[in-house]
Amino acid sequence: MDYYAYKLPCRAFTATCPNGLPAHFTCTGTSDGFEVHITHEYAGVFGLGERYDALNYLGKIAVNAVEEKFCRQGDKTYCPMPFFWTDSGLGVYAQTARVTRFEFDRGAITLYLPANCTLHVFSGLPEEIVAAYMRLTGEPVLPPDWVFGPWISANRWDSREKLEHALAEAEELGFPVSVAVIEAWSDEATFYRFRSDDLWPEPGEMIERLHEKGIHLVLWQIPVYKQLEPHEAPNSQLERDWDEAMQRGLCVKNADGTPYRIPEGHWFADSLVPDFTNPETVESWFSRREYLTGLGVDGFKTDGGEFILSDDARFFDGTTGAEGRNLYPQMYTGAYTEHLRPGQALFSRAGYVGAHTTPILWAGDQVSTFDELRSQLNAGLSASASGVIFWGFDIGGFAGELPPPELYLRATQLACFAPIMQWHSEPDGGQFRLLQPGMEGNNERSPWNIERAFGLTGYTEQVRRWHLLRAELQPYIRAEAAKCVENCRPLMRPMAYAFPEDRRCIGIDDEYMFGDALLVAPILREGVSEREVYLPDGEWRDFYTGERVPGGSVYTRGCAEVVPVFIREGANSSPLLPELSHEI
């Protein structure tokens, strides 16, 4: 692989790709920075962070800006990256924190870049380009083994009683649970104190009991000194935290030195934002959370982070708001990562360059529809093409009406073959009840609640099989995860990444390799009983039946009950795959 770095402005130059095709670069100065024009023959362009609207971005425009968008993200993203690679073997990373714009036309690429930008240019195979980009931007982190088991989560669990009731139901119905995530655990003001002794009595004893059952606890976090709403009761500890943040300068400021506040119309409006470039902020923030780690909490769900919305903002280390918009999620999650104890994990929504170092990303909020399931797969594969090794999504969607049983089952099947397998749901009635109402009653996305809501006897057992299969897949996933970290490779691999010599794979966005051995072909539409699966050259075996299938052709597989999965013959890790001990 070849690699070059150019500080803008730079002279015209040419990079030669592995197939001999050239990529001609020219640079033009503008009043806002630079335009870099690339003349390049390519049929597919991949990466750009977590993208919901497409995997192959040919013919599209990517704006690399961190943005919080509740459901139906379209071309918005919580985790952009100014990095891409093409099927012709060209890779480009624009090293800048500022918002950039990339336009991908056939035969031409235009990059709109700010001043003080360094252009990193790679030529090689996709896995070489992605690995080089990852090593340039930080070493990946291997999370503990327990993250690869099934996760369960619901915002409605606002008491120990409700959490333990859900876990008891899971145990009674034979569902393995490795992780329980609770969001509504805190006082909803400081986010480091439990809501009350009445609702969460003896949390240390509760966590000890969870650990005895092999269940790990993850707590929700948000990076704000919260501005309470008029209906919320005063909180004396929050008032002390505000006073300290103001007096010691622990929060992000405006250029005039006043505290920066999240603008109206945004999540946590008028709240202050902790400045994690300030060592005193870091010390203060995490000293208040040592109590949680001391209780045995196993990790944190670091939500939010898309809060820098003014170029006028200023950070302790000199970073401006124009840079902090994209950098802040990594400042936030990076600080948490540095304070994790051995065996703890982090699960984050927003990110930027270096997201593979903080180490698990999830796809944020989606409505319970098949269209959103398609978007979730786009997000996972584009994040993977950008170097994110560990990624997950909310099975069946997070918001709105309960997912139809067919959608929920198809999403469960996809999650079974994703790095993180989790179901999760918004508060009862929805977060935005007037604009986008959810279920008025219990809208928990547990399989047994879906069965109750739709009156489908036997549905829970149908879904349980995929959770049991996930448990059986863990030795394979753990081994693949370790190899991925060592070699800087994603765990979910787009077909264009895994088979760069096969031109047919450029246009395939609904199949992927899960590690070295498994090809997965999710079902993303309603009412599908069979689907075509393209198998590249080589020998393959049906994961469920063991039937041998030759590669280099399209194979039609029945899928009324299963998600098509094939084993690649000769993969070193295939012996770790389970001999199926139960019927799927």
Active site residues: 303, 306, 365
Q: Nearest CA to 405 among 365, 363, 367, 445?
A: 445
Answer whether 69's CB lies under 8 Å from 58's CB. Answer: no
3-state secondary structure of 160: helix
Answer whether 314's CB lies under 8 Å from 305's CB. Answer: no
Measured CA to CA, the distance from residue 305 to residue 302 in angstroms comes to 8
Measured CA to CA, the distance from residue 385 to residue 45 in angstroms comes to 10
Structure tokens at 1: 């692989």
Exposed (0-12), middle (13-18) or buried (19+): which is 558, by Cβ within 10 Å? exposed
Strand partners, 394: 422
3-state secondary structure of 70: coil
Beta strand 492-494 pairing with 179-182:
unpaired
- Residue holding tokens 């915002």? 155
H helix runs in 115-202, sequence order: 126-137, 160-172
Measured CA to CA, the distance from residue 450 to residue 175 in angstroms comes to 15
Strand partners, 100: 64
Whether the link from the prior residue into 403 is cis, omega within 30° of 0, is no
Measured CA to CA, the distance from residue 121 to residue 115 in angstroms comes to 17
Please tell me the chain's helix, strand, coil percentages from 3-state DSSP, rounded to the nearest 5.
30, 25, 45
Measured CA to CA, the distance from residue 241 to residue 258 in angstroms comes to 17
CA 66 to chain centre: 13
Q: Which residues in 261-279 are b (16+ Cβ under 10 Å) and which e?
A: bbeeeeebeebbbbbbbbe
Q: Nearest CA to 381 among 62, 148, 55, 66?
A: 55
3-state secondary structure of 216: strand
Q: Which residues in 398-435 are b (16+ Cβ under 10 Å) and which e?
A: bbbbbbbbebbbbbbbbbbbbbbbbbbbbbbebbeeee
Going across the sheet that includes 108-113, the strands are 13-16, 22-29, 34-40, 108-113, 100-105, 61-64
Strand partners, 84: 47, 92
Number of Cβ within a 10 Å radius of residue 233: 8
